């Protein structure tokens, strides 16, 4: 009997240990597991012999808990708290509130770091060798602690340390397209995180972990609800729930924001209009702002989608976007709130290239928006396509603060079943030169406010989180959340460096894992563009749900929701002519950019069919005809997914089995769907080109009709 009991205990402990190891990706990149490299572990244990956080407030308490948890996990024991100065002490606190830190003479380093920047240095205080993490404000200390733990997680050298870091962009937000019924528009990782029914009385533990994850990468704001907003979010019932979430997020320096429905004065206020120039309407919003700030003193502000895709807005009353935004800005201004007014607007009654409409509506309003208004512009002029040129509004409105909106969730990039690292996409846009004030006028410099000397700046990412155990559906989709936050903090970081950080923190510090996985990640987005929409093709996905290829979509109730509107394939060629011969959308860019895109000699292959309608026999730089190049791109993209599978399979045993099996299964789905995209698109475009497939490429086994008849009535939307 005793043997049986011992065996049972052993099996129980073993299964529990396995469950802890196979946590399904829940811990994200905050895995504080014991450092496996014996030499590195020993060096850290010798360098860190204790820790001290000076100060007592909710944010510093969060920093203290994180530092204790991190050091305990990474070093194998809790580094003891000490109130006695000694060698090897990690000391954290705000510079002004910790007289001990003044002895380190770091004042000059902190001068221009603002309230969120931090300093991490090796130094001596009264002859004791210490590591100092300090900042001008509590938030900076929190960010400094997370950065210090990141150094340990990625096994960086602690000698010497002389780090100075501060955010380039002031407002760094996630936009959640979450609905009050817990569905998520463009959500592919389960239901909404926000359990509105149980709030405000029940607080899920994962609310805290969500806040920790965001704070660890510098995100300082979250828009809780869908831009296609329900006015009920502004009722007392829901504002109490919002306040409960704000209470959880506050210790992590995260403000809450709300998407609002412009017709809320009618929907929940009993008014007959929502005209932004109506006195009663303006007073209603001022009263509503006061009500919100009474519950949430640090409320961030409003995100607004108006006069777009059927949403109500100021144009319903003959007013402008500026009229609507400024009405809300006036209501928020006394409390320090901001309005983020989305520029994603287009009208099917306007028979104009959809790529031009946002510019046409917002360019004339430059200088008309209030000081606490940011116009939120998608990275490209259509809609988060696998690849778009940067939006022409960037650089076109020097008197208006612009914030860029990226999509972290993979609406057009395979949902959460395709491995697509978006750090390269984010960098491609941020580094793009608009030439707005001459060479070097990058999108990043416009967004961070430095180019036009704006004091307010912002960046938003449409979140990919949900109730799935690993938060994002696909383990590697976590890397896109991570990359967005890191670039929001510092857009000068490289996509490759960020990828390596994430691999080290999430998968392994083993170089034989890091290098192949990093190579796989860095190529993944280009591979996906190739098997979905190469050479500047765009908007050829499924109807209604955006799942899978459907370049044949036509004859719908609005042209710009069809595929044929964008690719314009016919017997003569393919592509959307946006030069002066066509829609002339290219003229919305500054002359050097417009010239580059207009001339076939200088237009990058990546944007060729975005700006030009070309013959199937057009000679490409590769020496192939356009038709041959298109086929080879589609086939190369699908083949690259097979290579990713081979790369990943070779890592078995070097990555925890749970993560390995998960990604392996996802890659099988991706490979199958990449071939589907390849075959469906090549067969469809061949029906116009009337040219044979290149002889070296295998022929699709199914017919075009087969792919056209596929139906997915319950595909995620």
Helix axes 279-295, 236-249, angle to 10 degrees: 40
| Dist CA 208 CA 58 (whole Å) | 13
Handedness of CA 3, 7, 13, 16 (dihedral sign): negative
At 104, the pLDDT band (50, 70, 90 cuts) reads confident
- Over pLDDT 70: what percentage of the chain? 97
Asked whether the predicted pLDDT for residue 9 surpasses 50, the reply is: no
Residue 329 has phi, psi (to 5 degrees) of: -65, -40
> What is this structure's pTM?
0.96
- pLDDT score recorded for residue 397: 98
Residues paired with 345 in a beta bridge: none
Active site residues: 309, 383, 411
**Predicted pLDDT at 22:** 60
The pLDDT, as a whole number, for residue 15 is 37
Mean pLDDT of the chain: 95
Tokens at 573, concatenated: 């060629």
Whether the bond between 68 and the residue before it is cis, its omega within 30 degrees of 0, is no
Alpha helices in 398-553 (DSSP H): 423-430, 443-447, 478-489, 495-506, 511-532
| pLDDT tens readout for residues 491-529 | 999 999 999 999 999 999 999 999 999 999 999 999 999
Type and span of the H or E element at 75: helix 58-75
Judge whether residue 467 has pLDDT over 60.
Answer: yes
Q: Which residues of 323-335 are buried (b: 16+ CB within 10 A; e: fewer)?
A: bbbbbbbbbbbeb
pLDDT(442) > 80: yes
> What are the pLDDT digits (tens) for 181-213?
999 999 999 999 999 999 999 999 999 999 999
- Please state, in angstroms and rounded to a whole number, the distance separating the CA atoms of residues 592 and 433: 10
Give the whole-angstrom CA distance, residue 384 versus residue 546: 12
Given pLDDT bands bounded at 50, 70 and 90, which one contains residue 102? confident
Residues 238-278: tens digit of each pLDDT = 999 999 999 999 999 999 999 999 999 999 999 999 999 99
- Using one digit for the tens of pLDDT, what is the confidence trace for 57-90? 999 999 999 999 999 999 998 778 777 888 999 9
Give all domains of the chain, ordered by start, each with its CATH number.
27-165 (3.30.379.10), 171-496 (3.20.20.80), 530-576+613-708 (3.90.1330.10)
pLDDT of residue 347: 83
Q: What pLDDT, on the 0 to 100 scale, is given for residue 348?
A: 72
Angle among Cα 518, 519, 521 to the nearest 5 degrees reads 65
Spell out the SS3 assignment of 460-490.
EEECCCCCCCCCCCCHHHHHHHHHHHHHHHC
- pLDDT tens for 169-181 read 999 999 999 999 9
Indicate the length of the chain as a whole number. Answer: 717
SS3 149: helix
Say yes or no to pLDDT of 13 above 60. Answer: no
Burial readout 438-476 (b: 16 or more C-beta within 10 A, e: otherwise):
eeebbbbbbbbbebbebeebbbbbbbbbbbbebbbbbbb
Predicted pLDDT of residue 19: 40
What pLDDT is stored for residue 24 in this prediction?
92
Residue 536's closest CA among 588, 614, 420? 614
Per-residue DSSP letter, 619: B
- pLDDT tens for residues 342-385? 999 998 787 899 999 999 999 999 999 999 999 999 999 999 99
- Both tokens of 694, joined, read 């290149």
pLDDT for 226 beyond 60: yes
Distance, CA of 445 to CA of 459 (rounded, Å): 12
């Amino acid at each position: 009997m005793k043997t049986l009991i011992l065996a049972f205990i052993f099996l129980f402990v073993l299964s529990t240990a396995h469950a802890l190891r196979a946590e399904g990706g829940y811990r994200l990149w905050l895995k504080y597991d014991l450092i496996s490299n014996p030499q590195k572990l020993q060096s850290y244990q010798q360098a860190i012999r204790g820790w001290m956080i000076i100060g007592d407030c909710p944010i510093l308490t969060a920093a203290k808990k994180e530092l204790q948890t991190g050091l305990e996990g990474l070093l194998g024991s809790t580094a003891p708290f000490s109130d006695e100065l000694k060698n090897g002490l990690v000391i954290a606190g705000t510079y002004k509130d910790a007289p001990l830190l003044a002895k380190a003479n770091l004042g000059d380093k902190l001068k221009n770091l603002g309230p969120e920047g931090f300093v991490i240095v090796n130094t001596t205080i009264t002859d004791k060798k210490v590591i100092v993490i300090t900042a001008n404000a509590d938030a900076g200390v929190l960010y400094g602690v997370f950065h210090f733990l990141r150094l340990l997680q990625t096994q960086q050298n602690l000698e010497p340390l002389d780090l100075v870091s501060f955010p380039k962009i002031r407002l760094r937000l996630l936009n959640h397209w979450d609905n009050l019924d817990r569905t998520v528009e463009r959500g592919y990782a389960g239901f909404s995180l926000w359990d509105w029914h149980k709030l405000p009385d029940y607080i899920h533990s994962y609310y805290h972990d969500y806040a920790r994850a965001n704070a660890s990468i510098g995100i300082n704001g979250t828009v809780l609800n869908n831009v296609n907003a329900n006015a009920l979010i502004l009722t007392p019932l829901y504002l109490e729930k919002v306040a409960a979430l704000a209470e959880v997020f506050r210790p992590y320096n995260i403000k809450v924001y709300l998407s609002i429905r412009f017709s809320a004065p009618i929907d929940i206020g009993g008014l007959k209009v929502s005209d932004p120039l109506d006195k009663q309407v303006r007073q209603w919003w001022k009263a509503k702002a006061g009500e919100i700030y009474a519950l949430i003193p640090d409320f961030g502000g409003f995100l607004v989608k108006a006069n777009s895709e059927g949403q109500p807005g100021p144009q319903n009353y003959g007013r402008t976007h500026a009229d609507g935004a400024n009405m809300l800005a006036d209501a928020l201004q006394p409390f320090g709130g901001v309005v983020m007014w989305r520029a994603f607007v287009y009208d099917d009654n306007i028979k104009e290239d959809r790529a031009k409409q946002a510019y046409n509506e917002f360019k004339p309003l430059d200088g008309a928006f209030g000081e606490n208004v940011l116009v939120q512009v998608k990275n490209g002029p259509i809609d988060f396509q696998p690849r778009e040129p940067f939006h022409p509004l960037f650089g076109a409105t020097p008197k208006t603060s612009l914030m860029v909106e990226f999509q972290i969730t993979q609406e057009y990039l395979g949902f959460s079943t395709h491995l697509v690292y978006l750090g390269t996409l984010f960098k491609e846009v941020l580094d793009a030169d608009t030439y707005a004030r001459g060479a070097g006028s990058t999108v990043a410099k416009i967004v961070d406010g430095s180019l036009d000397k704006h004091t307010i700046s912002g960046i938003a990412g449409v979140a990919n989180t949900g109730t799935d155990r690993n938060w994002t559906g696909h383990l590697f989709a976590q890397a896109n959340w991570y990359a967005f936050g890191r670039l929001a903090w510092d857009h000068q970081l490289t996509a490759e460096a960020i990828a390596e950080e994430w691999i080290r923190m999430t998968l392994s510090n083993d170089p034989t894992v890091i290098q192949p996985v990093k190579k796989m990640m860095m190529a993944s987005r280009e591979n996906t563009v190739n098997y979905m929409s190469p050479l500047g093709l765009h908007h050829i996905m499924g109807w209604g749900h955006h799942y899978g290829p459907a370049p044949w979509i036509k004859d719908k109730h609005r042209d710009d929701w069809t595929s044929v509107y964008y690719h314009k394939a016919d017997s003569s060629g393919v592509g959307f002519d946006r030069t002066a011969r066509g829609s002339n959308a290219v003229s919305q860019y500054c002359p050097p950019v417009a010239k580059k895109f207009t001339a076939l000699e200088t237009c990058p292959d990546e944007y060729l069919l975005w700006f030009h309608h070309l013959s199937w026999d057009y000679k490409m730089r590769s020496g192939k005809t356009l038709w041959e190049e298109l086929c080879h791109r589609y086939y190369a993209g699908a083949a690259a997914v097979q290579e990713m599978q081979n790369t990943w399979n070779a890592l078995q045993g070097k990555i925890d089995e749970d993560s390995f099996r998960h990604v392996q299964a996802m890659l099988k789905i991706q490979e199958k769907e990449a071939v589907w995209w390849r075959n469906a698109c090549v067969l469809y475009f061949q029906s116009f080109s009337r040219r044979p497939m290149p002889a070296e490429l295998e022929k699709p086994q199914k017919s075009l009709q087969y792919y056209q008849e596929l139906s997915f009535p319950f595909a995620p939307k």
